[in-house]
């Protein structure tokens, strides 16, 4: 329906503006706290063409720094939200350990806890602006800010992944 379409477009627009403003604020705070990152980031970004913003392998430091900011800030942990991914059961579900989710009940993933889990990251509370960068080969790892996985839930998971993540990431850079 028309109302559904308008709602979807507004949701995507609101999400990208909201995500971008919060991510920029946290990235600036981290940049002020870690001034040793300013010169390498500036050097990488000088002369960068806008077309490079969507290719994380072209600007790996500029992809790694906001990724680390995002990992540690885990936006919803600092706002009214408790979990980054929320899903409502459309039918009853019983998991292997007998946990039962009834129809219309909500299931949430503790995003902030996952981003600070020692089994996912080393030195989880230590900010490392180049955590997602392999300096030995001067190229980004297989992990980029726009990626999604069961350990990187910044943009969602499964079939419902935020489509504005490429725009938001390019604008953040």
More confident residue, 30 or 154: 30
Gyration radius (Cα) of the chain, Å:
18
- Phi then psi for 132, rounded to 5 degrees? -95, 20
Token pair for residue 151? 């350990």
Question: How many angstroms separate the CA atoms of 124 and 102, rounded?
Answer: 34
CATH topology for 2-172?
Answer: Cytochrome p450 (1.10.630)
Query: Over 70: is that where the pLDDT of 80 sits?
Result: no
Could you tell me which of 47, 70, 69, 44 has the C-alpha nearest to residue 56?
44
- What does pTM read for this prediction? 0.78
Percent with pLDDT over 90 in the chain: 30
Q: Dump pLDDT digits (tens) for 100-126.
A: 999 999 988 888 888 889 998 999 999
Q: Please check the confidence at residue 32 and state whether its pLDDT lies above 90.
A: yes
Is the pLDDT score of 140 beyond 60? Answer: no
What does the alpha-carbon distance between residue 1 and residue 134 come to, in Å, rounded to a whole number?
47
| Residue 129: band (very low, low, confident or very high) from pLDDT cuts 50, 70, 90 | very high
């Amino acid at each position: 329906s028309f109302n559904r379409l308008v709602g979807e477009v507004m949701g995507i627009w609101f999400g990208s503006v909201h995500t971008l403003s919060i991510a920029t604020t946290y990235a600036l705070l981290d940049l002020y706290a870690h001034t040793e990152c300013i010169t390498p980031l500036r050097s990488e970004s000088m002369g960068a063409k806008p077309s490079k913003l969507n290719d994380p392998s072209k600007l790996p430091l500029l992809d790694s720094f906001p990724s680390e900011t995002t990992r540690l800030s885990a936006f919803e942990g600092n706002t009214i939200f408790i979990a980054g991914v929320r899903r409502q059961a459309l039918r009853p579900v019983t998991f292997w350990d007998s946990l039962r989710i009834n129809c219309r009940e909500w299931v949430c993933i503790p995003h902030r806890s996952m981003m600070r889990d020692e089994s996912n990251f080393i030195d989880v509370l230590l900010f490392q602006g180049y955590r997602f960068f392999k300096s030995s080969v001067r190229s980004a790892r297989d992990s980029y800010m726009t990626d999604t996985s069961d350990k990187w839930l910044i943009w969602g998971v499964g079939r419902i992944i935020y489509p504005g993540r490429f725009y938001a990431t390019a604008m953040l850079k």
